[in-house]
Structure 1
Amino acid sequence: MDDATADRYDTFFYAAFTGDLLPKLNVKLDRNFIPGTDYYMHWDKEEKKGTTAEELRYALTRRPGMRAFFANGWFDLCTEFGYAWHTMDHAGLPSDRVFWKGYQSGHMIYLGEDNVHELCSDIRDFIQGKNPKSQF
């Protein structure tokens, strides 16, 4: 995985997750926690089983009450907003159950005080059955 932010932030997130979040949630692991970067380095990227868009369409078709919320950073260079939107827009997803929102951020939309409050509010509304305001 070639992600410049991984070198900068992964150690912090690993420490916060294992040293702060797990104890607060009273989660005790009977094994060592393996950071995602260690795992994904060995991922078989050649195996193809369908696209995520196809899998999501299948799930939404089989579960009429299911909804999806895409939250992307406008300045994300890893998972570009336009590419993600184009892919999902052409996947035949039910438009009444798929919601989009762009945030003034890069890849990690959960960093930065303003983004955290806006994202948390949007996720909370979505979980409560409200429809986030699409923004793109």
Structure 2
Amino acid sequence: MKKTIIFSVVLLIGAMVWLGWNHYSTQQLHDEIAEHEVASIKLWGSQEREADSNEKQKIISWFNHITDIRKKNNLNGPTPASGIVIELNTTSKILILRSGDDFEVQSDGGAYWGRQSDLELLLEQLAL
């Protein structure tokens, strides 16, 4: 009985550590951005254009509310039909690429999948 309790406690602590590390590591992939950090936002798909100031505000807000962040280990896959390029004042870029049911984000911090319904809809519209 005592061994079962000890084993259960060790297993529970191990699971909590693993889940905590997994959450921490995925949160480190996605950094929010402020509007003053953004030099420009380019939208591309069937056409290419620069986002106007209203779109820029919305895209930054949507980007900051990405959920379901999952690390992507390699950049292999089909060529996306649409995307958003956020050019930061630091000359870094953040790419948001249409990828299946959700989207892929590529930045200096790494690559990951995420979900945000407004961004998904915009990427879908850009691909038409």
Q: Shorter-chain TM-score: what band?
A: under 0.3
TM-score by length of 2: 0.22
User: Normalized per residue, which structure has more strand?
Assistant: 2
Higher RCO (CA 8 Å, separation ≥ 6 residues): 2
User: Normalized per residue, which structure has more helix?
Assistant: 1
